Amino acid sequence: MTNAHVVKNAAKVTVTLIDGRTFDGLVRGTDEFMDLAAIRIKPSGKPLPTAPLGRSDELQVGDWAIAIGNAVGLDSTVTLGIISSLSRSAAEVGIPNKKVNFIQTDAAINPGNSGGPLLNEFGEVVGINTAIRANAAGIGFAIPIDTAEKATGTDLGRSREERLIS
């Protein structure tokens, strides 16, 4: 799972893991209105690194937030902040064509962080880093993981993690 704007107009992508392994990926679907995309890879070798999923509906303003991504091309950047607000409308964020209520954080989200995870203090994925306000500093937005999970469908017999990976 990543942002649709990250894979815009692509059918194939290269997925690079933190351990340096790369895989060919196929874009299985995108939702421009939610800014979500699903990518399928065929992993080989050692198991994929994973992070447990949290519940974005359990977040509270003031909770710790950790943003991970490749900020401005710098691989594996990690920033720390708090959850600043919940349920920010797309219009408030400045992207009114999206159909998402965002998590707001002051954990630095920069160009290149899009599609990376927003974690809670327990290392659980609670959001997908998505946007910043160009006219402000320290204001970033993430798609709640509960919203992303619903967008992947229900696929009976598969775990939450499997649905997000495939």
89 is catalytic: no
The alpha carbon of 9 is separated from its chain's Cα centroid by a whole number of angstroms, namely: 19
Q: What's the rounded Cα separation, in Å, for the pair 71 and 75? A: 7
Query: Taking every pair of C-alpha atoms in the chain, what is the biggest distance, in angstroms?
Result: 45
5 is catalytic: yes
Residue whose pair of structure tokens reads 């679907």 in the numeric block = 29
Pairing mode, strands 125-132 and 36-41 = unpaired
159 is catalytic: no
Q: Give the burial string for 131-160 (b: 16+ CB within 10 Å, else e).
A: bbeeeeeebbbbbbbbbbbebbeeeeeeee
Catalytic residue among 56, 84, 106, 114: 114
Do the beta carbons of residue 99 and residue 90 sit within 8 Å?
yes
Which residues are known to be catalytic? 5, 35, 114
